[in-house]
Amino acid sequence: MQIPVIQKVLAANDLISEELRAQFEKAGLLVVNLMGSPGAGKTSLVERTLEHLRKLKIGVIEGDVATSLDADRIARFGVPVVQINTGGACHLDAAMVRKALGSLDVSELDILLIENVGNLICPAQFDLGEACKAVVCSLPEGDDKVLKYPAIFSLVSAVVLNKLDLLDRLNFNLPDFRRHMAELNPDAALMELSCLTGEGFDRWIEWLELGARNAREFGGGSQSPARCRE
Amino acid sequence: MQIPVIQKVLAANDLISEELRAQFEKAGLLVVNLMGSPGAGKTSLVERTLEHLRKLKIGVIEGDVATSLDADRIARFGVPVVQINTGGACHLDAAMVRKALGSLDVSELDILLIENVGNLICPAQFDLGEACKAVVCSLPEGDDKVLKYPAIFSLVSAVVLNKLDLLDRLNFNLPDFRRHMAELNPDAALMELSCLTGEGFDRWIEWLELGARNAREFGGGSQSPARCRE
């Protein structure tokens, strides 16, 4: 009984997400759907990005079950930000993003970062019209996450492995994590960094800059997710 | 369109979970539904519990989207364990637990620990017939999780705040976390501990022992969730 209903929901979502994708490509905008577990450091990644990438215009959509805590953190940087509260739903969907765009002028942006609800499972199923999906994973979560949550790691163009500063205190096998990713999704860029110390952050910034340039120059093509890959 | 379907799914789940609850209470068994984000330390908590609580007979159900990694870790302790792979679903439901019970003799157990899928949102909605819901949250996830994921924290009888050993390396405001819990759900027991160092673990063991004693002596009552509270 459940499966046909879910398929209908996904099909309805895809109608809207394709409309959004066309709008984003027309505007020459790079849109990244940032997913990850609660507390992986998605908002910290956005904060550090706003500090490091001042030459591009960045807008942010924050998705949370409740509160505007994350949007408040982002608003301090003086960039356009919209908070979506799902009121219980475990993921963003394209209709929520379309509604949020009513408060954002995408024609003025180079990059739109959409921070999804903290959840390593459900957001993977819902296309938001983004050019690229990225997952933020952190060392304290353990080195087995690629194996245990394969759907999300197989879909993304980039993996940000955060909290590298804690490596000396954790029993985290970095070669194992790299190998699991290389076996599951060899095309994804793996960026190991620390939002706290800034170590490794340059690669993330370069990846965003490359994506933004591609979106600006080739916007409107159908190969957008591939273009985000290095 | 979605809401009536979800209500039907939940109603169907509750029919099965009430059947399970009656079975567990008749057997005088304490059943704990362990929820939490990916990598919060749910499996580590179960491992340390099996080391520290040798005088009680403990069985384990491991819920994961994919792999039997967690059940393999538990099987090393020589206790009855069943792995459920949801194959994509973001939570356990009562039907999955009922099926797993085909491989577990609950009449031989004092405690059944059900480790849910790593997810701080969806598992809260699905009753598994347990006496107590507990959430494992860890310091690296940040001190704002109670505010941002209120549904799960409001439902539980116990909060295990894990990875206390990292307190010196993180910007985690422990008084804030305690205050958020006290305001949202003052009846829940809050146990701050480290599965790595063992610090604070005694309180969790005492909480389980008290719950097991209550289940054995008063099993069959309708007040089971309250009985787990301290």
Alpha-carbon B6 to chain mean position? 23
Provide the pLDDT for residue A8. 85
Split into its structural domains, chain B has a count of 1
Flag whether A224 is in a domain.
Answer: no
- Give the residue, B228 or B31, on which the prediction is more confident: B31
Check CB contact of A225 with chain B, cutoff 8 Å.
no
Please state which of the ranges B64-78, B88-102, B126-140, B210-224 shows the lowest mean pLDDT. B210-224
CB atoms B66 and A145 under 8 Å = no
- Give the residue, B127 or B222, on which the prediction is more confident: B127
- Give the residue, B226 or B127, on which the prediction is more confident: B127
CB atoms A65 and B150 under 8 Å = yes
Segment B25-34 shows an average pLDDT of: 96
Flag whether A63 is in a domain.
Answer: yes
Question: What distance separates the 2 farthest-apart alpha carbons in chain A?
Answer: 51
| Chain B residues within 8 A of A163 when measuring between CB atoms | 140
CATH number, position B97: 3.40.50.300
Provide the pLDDT for residue A7. 82
CA distance A56 to chain B (A): 29
Flag whether A225 is in a domain.
Answer: no
pLDDT at B138 over 70: yes
Provide the pLDDT for residue A228. 59
Flag whether B229 is in a domain.
Answer: no
The pLDDT averaged over each successive group of 10 residues in chain A (230 residues) is 70 95 96 98 98 97 97 97 96 98 96 98 97 98 98 98 98 98 98 98 97 87 47
C-alpha separations of B115 from B24, B63, B199, B213 in Å: 17, 6, 22, 21
Query: What is the 8-class DSSP label of residue A178?
Result: H
Flag whether A228 is in a domain.
Answer: no
CB atoms B39 and A138 under 8 Å = yes
| A95: CB partners within 8 A, 6+ apart | A13, A16
Domain that holds residue A84: 12-216
At B9, the pLDDT band (50, 70, 90 cuts) reads confident
Provide the number of CB pairs (under 8 Å) joining chain A to chain B: 112
Q: Which of A5, A38, A90 sits opposite B141 (nearest CB)?
A: A38
Flag whether A60 is in a domain.
Answer: yes
The answer to whether the predicted template modeling score (pTM) of the entire model surpasses 0.80 is yes
**Closest C-alpha to B147, from A65, A96, A17:** A65
| Chain B residues within 8 A of A63 when measuring between CB atoms | none
CB atoms B39 and A37 under 8 Å = yes
Flag whether B80 is in a domain.
Answer: yes
Laid out side by side, the sheet with A189-192 consists of A81-85, A58-64, A111-115, A30-36, A132-138, A158-162, A189-192
Flag whether A47 is in a domain.
Answer: yes
- Residue-wise pLDDT tens digits, B141-168: 999 999 999 999 999 999 999 999 999 9
Task: Report how far residue B133's alpha carbon sits from residue B58's, in angstroms, rounded to the nearest whole number.
Answer: 17
Segment B96-118 shows an average pLDDT of: 97
Task: Tell me if B57 sits within 8 A of B29, measured CB to CB.
Answer: no
Q: Which two tokens stand for residue B40?
A: 């919060």
Provide the pLDDT for residue B52. 96
CA distance B182 to chain A (A): 18
Task: Report how far residue A68's alpha carbon sits from residue B38's, in angstroms, rounded to the nearest whole number.
Answer: 23
| Chain B residues within 8 A of A147 when measuring between CB atoms | 66-67, 69
Check CB contact of A115 with chain B, cutoff 8 Å.
no
Segment B85-93 shows an average pLDDT of: 96
Provide the pLDDT for residue A98. 98
What ipTM, to 2 d.p.? Answer: 0.92
Cβ under 8 Å to B: A residues 135-164? 138, 140-142, 144-145, 147-151, 163
